[in-house]
Amino acid sequence: MTGHTHPPPRASIVAVIAACALIGLPLLGLALRAPWSTILDQISRPEVFRALWLSIECSVAATALSFVIGLPLAVWMASETSRWTNVVRAFVLLPMVLPPVVGGLALLLAFGRNGVFGQYLDAWFGITLPFSTAGVIVAETWVALPFFVLTTESGLRATDTRAADAAATLGAKPWRILTTITLPMIAPSLQAASILAWARALGEFGATITFAGNLESTTRTMPLAVYTALESSPEAAITLSFVLIAIAMAVLFVLRKRWFPTGRTAR
Amino acid sequence: MVPHWTNGTMNLDASIGLQRGTLRIDAQLSAGAGETVALVGPNGAGKTSCLHAIAGLVRLERGHVRLGMRLFDDGSVTNFVRPEDRHVGVVFQDHRLFPAMSVVDNVAYGPRSRGAGKRSARATAHDWLERVGITKRNEKPAALSGGETARVALARALAYEPDMLLLDEPLAAVDASARVALESALRSHLANFEGPRILVAHDIGDALALADRLIVLESGCVIQSGTAEELARRPLSNYVADLAGVNRFVGHCRDSIVTIGNTELTVVSSVIGDVVVTLHPRAVSLFPERPAGSPRNVFELRVLHVESLHDRNRVQLTGSLPMVAEVTTASVEALRLCEGRTIFAAIKATELVVSPH
């Protein structure tokens, strides 16, 4: 790979510095104010551990839910066999562009105990979503699903259909083509889609606090814990933030091949 | 499962009507059970599209595809039979082995579709791989050479036990050294296959070596069909003439003289009127000087190009009557044939085949 043969305009260096400063300086501030001497004690506090565990539980469940709903949806959207494809796509993408707090409010009005649909969930099945861990999972899925669907759909669209054609001439029905040919081909996209959806679910704040509230060990996930700790003990908030930054770094590391194409990486 | 062709009526009858970009395809194709038909034509003539329409990878806009008693497509949504329900095997030009599966699993894929268990499908696959001479069976297709890939693609299509076999330039992606062996393997496997076989060929050599009959497709239309001899004897277009390797001249015949532009050819024919004259390149003799004596058809021509094929050389000549001559490598050296050299071409009147135009 030869890369760009034309040098960028010199002035672009200003934008590079500005962007690095905008993102880097706050992180530097966080690092300088971190209570390094007590950080291990802070992390090992039970409420921190509970928040972390709850976050992982809920975000993994939201990712699994996104996978189960999102994969068939992406397959359907990529096939473009219906004229409703674009309508459905617009619908699915809405949570990505909507402020999460609005989403949380909408969820509350729909599935709250007195909500339009929630009252029946409560009356008929005894299911109460708001202010429960299940509510956190619903809120996180609501915001994470579009990331999963978009990434998977673009992966599906980029795949070569020639192998699928060959499979069809060997008598494979659509379901078999999907499971034996297409899914193995888009495995990297599925991995990226899952990680993106998971990272988005992990960081979810607005929809969660509006729909599921901020109840310790039930709905108080890491971002909510950071927000709560900020009022009582800023050191704890900083410590919790560091845990989240470490997770973000790990995400970048896992997805490095996708986002850092270099000359050495075969693409 | 009892193959459908045992009733002896498993013939392909296709009238393919399609629009592919600017190309309008309207081609009548047929192939009998046990017959190998080569679909030949220049690039972009619509050969592969025809094959894909028969396989069901492309839907017809007009016409029909019928195999035996079964209607596959007549341009309507209700009668379209999906490719997986046609039992038509395809060897693609790019072979399209599944990269994530081992070679044996590639070949077992078709039998699995037919409902065979994992073990029995693998046994079938091993059997077919044995027949096509592939020993690297547990490796991924990436480990195979071009020739081996083509063999696996053939084995995969045959292991599916299709009712008809379609091959899209199966030898195109194979290097010259593996070609001869692959061609003979292909010939014997085609002979053992009892359904209709359609072979797309860009190279006339492949078509002649493997096919019983040729269908020539140009710009989406069938120009001519017949055996290689029939095509060579009376090519209906310059492309067919080039394909069959013969020279084709259009002129007016009277008193055994064919006038072509300002040139005259002496022939043995009583035809009066417009004619097509064909001449096999082997029947053209080349001389460094104007030959003395009998031959009446002598033309002073200039060498445009010398193309060396593996057993002979095709010499393109230009001048008053442009033509192609075929000579041995020894003659190329003896005559010092090279571009721009002036040469005398002599043709016996008895070698010229005249037919009314």
The CATH number of residue B293's host domain is: 2.40.50.100
Mean pLDDT lowest among A106-120, B17-31, B90-104 = A106-120
d(CA B22, CA B75): 19
pLDDT at A122 over 50: yes
Whether B75 is covered by a domain: the verdict is yes
pTM for the predicted model, two decimal places: 0.74
A214 Cβ partners below 8 Å, 6+ apart? Answer: A220, A224, A227, A228
Mean pLDDT lowest among A121-135, B227-241, B324-338 = B227-241
Residues of B in contact with A173 (CB under 8 A): 84, 113
Residues from B contacting A (CB-CB < 8 Å) are 55-57, 82-90, 92, 94, 96, 98-101, 109-110, 113-114, 156-157, 160
DSSP bridge pairs for A242: none
How many angstroms separate the CA of residue B55 from the nearest CA in chain A? 7
At B267-287, the pLDDT tens digits run 988 888 888 888 888 889 999
Contact A146, A95 (CB under 8 A): yes
Per-chain mean pLDDT for chain A: 88
Instruction: Judge: A170–B87 Cβ closer than 8 Å, yes or no.
Output: no
One domain for residues B210 and B288: no
d(CA B6, CA B69): 13
Residues of B in contact with A170 (CB under 8 A): 84, 89, 109-110, 113, 156-157, 160
How many angstroms separate the CA of residue A224 from the nearest CA in chain B? 44
d(CA A62, CA A145): 8
Per-chain mean pLDDT for chain B: 88
Q: List the structure tokens of A17.
A: 């510095």
pLDDT of residue A126: 78
- Distances from the Cα of B140 to the Cα of A186, B106, B108, angstroms: 18, 9, 14
pLDDT at A123 over 50: yes
pLDDT of residue B38: 93
Ranges of each domain in chain A: 45-259
One domain for residues B273 and B161: no
Number of domains observed in the structure of chain B: 2
Mean pLDDT lowest among A64-73, A212-221, B69-78, B239-248 = B239-248
pLDDT of residue B295: 61
One domain for residues B220 and B283: no
Instruction: Judge: A169–B90 Cβ closer than 8 Å, yes or no.
Output: yes
Contact B204, B128 (CB under 8 A): no
How many angstroms separate the CA of residue A181 from the nearest CA in chain B? 7
Instruction: Judge: B84–A184 Cβ closer than 8 Å, yes or no.
Output: no
pLDDT-derived band at B4, boundaries 50, 70, 90: very low
pLDDT of residue B13: 95
Instruction: Judge: B82–A168 Cβ closer than 8 Å, yes or no.
Output: yes
Residues of B in contact with A167 (CB under 8 A): 98, 109
Whether B243 is covered by a domain: the verdict is no
d(CA B348, CA B343): 17
DSSP bridge pairs for B40: B201, B216
Residue of A170, A184, A185 lying closest to B109 (CB–CB): A170
For B180, the domain range is: 4-233
Residue that terminates a domain, selected from B207, B233, B259: B233
pLDDT-derived band at B2, boundaries 50, 70, 90: very low
How many angstroms separate the CA of residue B15 from the nearest CA in chain A? 20
Residues of A in contact with B77 (CB under 8 A): none
The highest-confidence range among A60-64, A87-91, B178-182, by mean pLDDT, is: A60-64
Mean pLDDT lowest among A1-5, B33-37, B353-357 = A1-5
Widest pairwise Cα distance in chain B: 77
Determine the residue of chain B that is closest to A161 in CA distance: B96
One domain for residues B170 and B32: yes
Across the range B51-67, mean pLDDT stands at: 95
The CATH number of the domain covering residues in A45-259: 1.10.3720.10
| ipTM above 0.85 for this complex | no
Residue of A162, A168, A181 lying closest to B84 (CB–CB): A168
Residues from A contacting B (CB-CB < 8 Å) are 162-163, 165-173, 176, 180-181, 184-185
How many angstroms separate the CA of residue A167 from the nearest CA in chain B? 8
Q: List the structure tokens of A145.
A: 């699903």
d(CA B200, CA B89): 14
One domain for residues B13 and B159: yes
Instruction: Judge: A171–B84 Cβ closer than 8 Å, yes or no.
Output: yes
pLDDT-derived band at B71, boundaries 50, 70, 90: very high
One domain for residues B195 and B279: no
Residues of B in contact with A181 (CB under 8 A): 98
One domain for residues B12 and B132: yes
Of B196, B195, B192, B188, give the one whose Cα is nearest residue B215. Answer: B196
- Distances from the Cα of A52 to the Cα of A239, B6, B64, angstroms: 12, 69, 64
Angle at B49 (CA atoms; ends B46, B51), nearest 5 degrees: 115
How many angstroms separate the CA of residue B95 from the nearest CA in chain A? 9
pLDDT of residue B176: 73
Residues of B in contact with A176 (CB under 8 A): 113
User: What does DSSP assign to residue B177?
Assistant: H
pLDDT-derived band at A110, boundaries 50, 70, 90: very high
pLDDT at A94 over 70: yes
Across the range A211-232, mean pLDDT stands at: 90
Across the range B216-220, mean pLDDT stands at: 92
One domain for residues B255 and B223: no
pLDDT of residue A79: 86
The highest-confidence range among B72-76, B210-214, B306-310, by mean pLDDT, is: B72-76
Tell me the CATH number at B192. Answer: 3.40.50.300
Whether B245 is covered by a domain: the verdict is no
One domain for residues B195 and B117: yes
Whether B346 is covered by a domain: the verdict is yes
Residue of B56, B100, B156 lying closest to A170 (CB–CB): B156
d(CA B132, CA A249): 52
Whether B256 is covered by a domain: the verdict is yes
Torsion of CA B42, B43, B44, B47, to 10 degrees: 70
One domain for residues B58 and B172: yes
One domain for residues B154 and B33: yes
d(CA A247, CA B98): 36
Q: List the structure tokens of A83.
A: 């004229």
Determine the residue of chain B that is closest to A163 in CA distance: B96
Mean pLDDT lowest among B64-73, B174-183, B328-337 = B174-183
pLDDT at B137 over 60: yes
How many angstroms separate the CA of residue B59 from the nearest CA in chain A? 13
Of B85, B89, B73, B68, give the one whose Cα is nearest residue B15. Answer: B73
pLDDT-derived band at A77, boundaries 50, 70, 90: very high
Query: Tokens 């009147």, residue?
Result: B349
Query: Tokens 């690039």, residue?
Result: B43
pLDDT of residue A1: 47
Residues of B in contact with A185 (CB under 8 A): 100
One domain for residues B135 and B22: yes
Mean pLDDT lowest among A127-131, B161-165, B333-337 = A127-131
Task: Give helix B103-113 / helix B146-159 axis angle, nearest 10°.
Answer: 20
